[in-house]
Each structure stands twice: as structure tokens, then as C-alpha cells.
Chain A
């Protein structure tokens, strides 16, 4: 079965706080991707993992962002010292026959 869950679905935080999102594929998939989608735009690639190795990071991923996939299964995305510009939908995707997207975590930074 192909599926991805993301937690939390919504997060409201104050500027300067740290936040962490989690992505859980239902079954094993080698590749896992993170994207960010701001209002009125298509998703933008952030980073991807092949098993536990982080193989590519976008220039969008500033030093305040870090992603991990410690056992090659679930993945976390942490944003430190959040800024209002970080407000967006953060999407996780896995690759099976297609790139299968999770429901996303909507982050609002106040």
C-alpha cells in the first residue's frame, strides 16, 4: 500500500520559535522528498533522501532548516528561529510508481 502521513497537520507558532514536522510513509520507500508550497505557488523542492542519506538540498533550505531520516523510514524537518516568511504548506512525498504526496503540514508564523 502506498501512503504518507504527516504530523501535525497544522502548526501555529510565534516568530523565533522552533518547530518540527514529521513525515511517515506507510511502507518502505527508498526516496523521500520535502517540498514547500506558499500561497498561490506550486510546490518547491527543498530536499530529498535516498534511504537515510540526504542527497540534495535546495538553496531554499537555509541554515535554519534541517532534515533527517535516521532509519530510512520516517523523516523530520525542523525549522529553527522561525520567521514569518516560513509560513507555508510543507509537503512530504515518496516515490513508488509516482511521486505520492502527503496531506502536508500548514505552518503559520505569527
Chain B
């Protein structure tokens, strides 16, 4: 079964501290992994995707197929990073539908 697990509902850190939001997936094929972010009162938007291997707003994520993980990391959290973060998987076969985790609320305290 295809599944995405985000074990933490809430992650609270102080400004300037490192951040790691965990994501594990279950899928037997070659998945495409994404991180989506939803700021307060805004729509869900793409933060980054594993195939582009880019850093957006200081965030990076590496796909680890051995551990079936795609953790999101940032070395120094900013207050404006406070938001809801969703990890998502798109299965090969390319219907394009996304399977989302439950989401993690990141709270960055001043």
C-alpha cells in the first residue's frame, strides 16, 4: 500500500535552531516525493520536489530509498517558517495523484 507518515504533529523550535521534519513513505516502486507548505490563511503550495534537488527558502530534503525517508531540513529556522508542512508522494504510473502525510505544524518561537 502507498502511504506517507509524518510522525510529528507539532514541532516547536526557537529561531535560529536547526529544523528537521520527518517523512517516511511506503511504496514499492519509484516514487516522486514532495514537500508542500501551507502558511496561515494561504493555499497549499509546493515547497520542493526531490527530483529537482534544489534548496528553497533554505530548506533541503534528500530522498533515502534505503530508509524510505524524505526528511525536510533547515539549518537555521526563521519565524516566517512557521506553517503546516505536508510530505506527499506521487506514485509511478503517472496519474499524478498525490498521497499526503498527516502534516506537521512547525512553530518557530522568537
Binding site for B on A (CB under 8 A): 31, 33, 35, 40-45, 48, 55-56, 91, 95, 98-104
- Please, what's the 1-or-0 string for B99-110, where 1 marks a CB less than 8 Å from any CB in chain A? 111110000000
Kindly identify which residue among A44, A56, A98, A102 contacts B46, using a CB–CB cutoff of 8 Å: A98
Helix, strand, loop or mixed for chain A's interface?
strand
Smallest CB-CB A-B distances: 7 pairs: A42-B100, A98-B46, A101-B44, A45-B97, A103-B43, A42-B86, A43-B100
Interface residues in chain B, defined as those with a beta carbon under 8 Å from any beta carbon in chain A: 4, 6, 9, 34, 43-46, 49, 86, 88, 95-103
Assuming the contacts A91-B44, A101-B44, asked whether A45 and B103 have C-beta atoms less than 8 A apart, the reply is no
B46 touches A99 (CB 8 A): yes
| Best-surrounded residue of A55, A98, A103 (most CB of chain B within 10 A) | A98
Q: Which residues of A contact B95 (CB under 8 A)?
A: 48, 55-56
Question: How many angstroms from the CA of A42 to the CA of B45 in the assembled complex?
Answer: 13
Q: Is the CB of A48 within 8 A of B96?
A: yes
- A42 surroundings in chain B (CB, below 8 A): 4, 6, 86, 88, 100-103
Given contacts A35-B98, A98-B46, A99-B96, 16 further A-B contacts (CB under 8 A): A31-B96, A40-B103, A42-B88, A42-B101, A42-B102, A43-B44, A43-B100, A44-B100, A45-B97, A45-B98, A48-B95, A55-B95, A56-B97, A98-B49, A102-B43, A103-B43
Q: Can you give 22 A-B contacts (C-beta < 8 A)?
A: A31-B96, A35-B98, A40-B9, A41-B102, A41-B103, A42-B6, A42-B101, A42-B102, A42-B103, A43-B86, A43-B98, A43-B100, A45-B98, A45-B99, A48-B97, A55-B95, A98-B34, A98-B46, A99-B96, A101-B43, A101-B45, A104-B43
Query: Is A40's CB under 8 angstroms from B102's CB?
Result: yes
Distance between Cα atoms of A45 and B90 in the complex (Å): 11
